[in-house]
Chain A
Amino acid sequence: AQSVTQPDIHITVSEGASLELRCNYSYGATPYLFWYVQSPGQGLQLLLKYFSGDTLVQGIKGFEAEFKRSQSSFNLRKPSVHWSDAAEYFCAVGEISGGFKTIFGAGTRLFVKA
């Protein structure tokens, strides 16, 4: 069965420091991969997605992610974190099975310290 693992429940980084959030997936075929961000009390916003092609994907708000098939990973990165990036981040894999479904990881909460 398809699954998504986000190993870090929470991460704290200093403002201005670089960020990497880890995501590993289990999927038999070429996956559709997503990263979402959720601010407190809000819905989810799509940061970026990977369907095919270039394995380095650029998203909104200065985020990028790299698909590494050999490691079954899709880690999210940002070179310099801003205080407004504090939120919860979800990695997800999409599968086509009687329709398109998205399976989410448990999330990583990002704290940003001044």
Chain B
Amino acid sequence: NAGVTQTPKFQVLKTGQSMTLQCAQDMNHNSMYWYRQDPGMGLRLIYYSASEGTTDKGEVPNGYNVSRLNKREFSLRLESAAPSQTSVYFCASRPGWFFGQGTRLTVV
């Protein structure tokens, strides 16, 4: 099915561990985004990529890195996970028009 695909759907990490969240879209969109969603705070932009080869910080970039591997894929990396990064992470393409199903991350 066309759309935005995120993996994994669920993940539990220990404090200090690292991991990469994967996102791929098959709609040939130039722009891709990573958001985190926390109760009562809506979605906050972590990083975005306006086009292949470019990335920029959003509202809450600290503790994260991203890679725009190619036009299809945009990954989010946590180098040293912290409990404050427990959240639901959403990838989106275009100006927020298409969202993935989310990754629920718990850091213990």
Which residues of A come within 8 Å of B, CB atoms?
4, 9, 32, 34, 36, 42-46, 49, 90, 92, 94, 98-107
B-side interface residues, number (CB < 8 Å): 29
Name 7 interchain pairs, CB-CB below 8 A, sorted by A.
A43-B90, A44-B99, A99-B31, A99-B51, A102-B33, A105-B42, A106-B41
B47 to chain A, nearest CB (A): 11
CB–CB B99/A100 < 8 A: no
Chain B 42-82 near chain A by CB (<8 Å), digits 1 or 0: 11110011110010101100000000000000000000000
Partner of A46, one of B4, B35, B40, B97: B97
By Cβ-Cβ distance, the 10 closest A-B pairs, closest first, are A99-B50, A102-B96, A104-B42, A100-B95, A43-B99, A104-B43, A106-B42, A44-B99, A43-B101, A94-B95
Q: Report B-chain residues with C-beta under 8 Å of the C-beta of A42.
A: 101-102
Of chain A, the residue at the smallest CB distance from B38 is A106
CB–CB B42/A99 < 8 A: no
A88 to chain B, nearest CB (A): 9
Q: Report A-chain residues with C-beta under 8 Å of the C-beta of B90.
A: 43-44
A108 to chain B, nearest CB (A): 10
Contacts A42-B102, A43-B100 aside, 13 further interface pairs with beta carbons under 8 A come to A32-B95, A43-B90, A46-B96, A46-B97, A94-B95, A99-B31, A99-B49, A100-B50, A100-B95, A101-B58, A102-B33, A102-B96, A104-B43
Q: Using A44-B99, A101-B58 as known contacts, say yes or no to A90 and B42 having CB atoms under 8 A apart.
A: yes
Of chain A, the residue at the smallest CB distance from B9 is A41
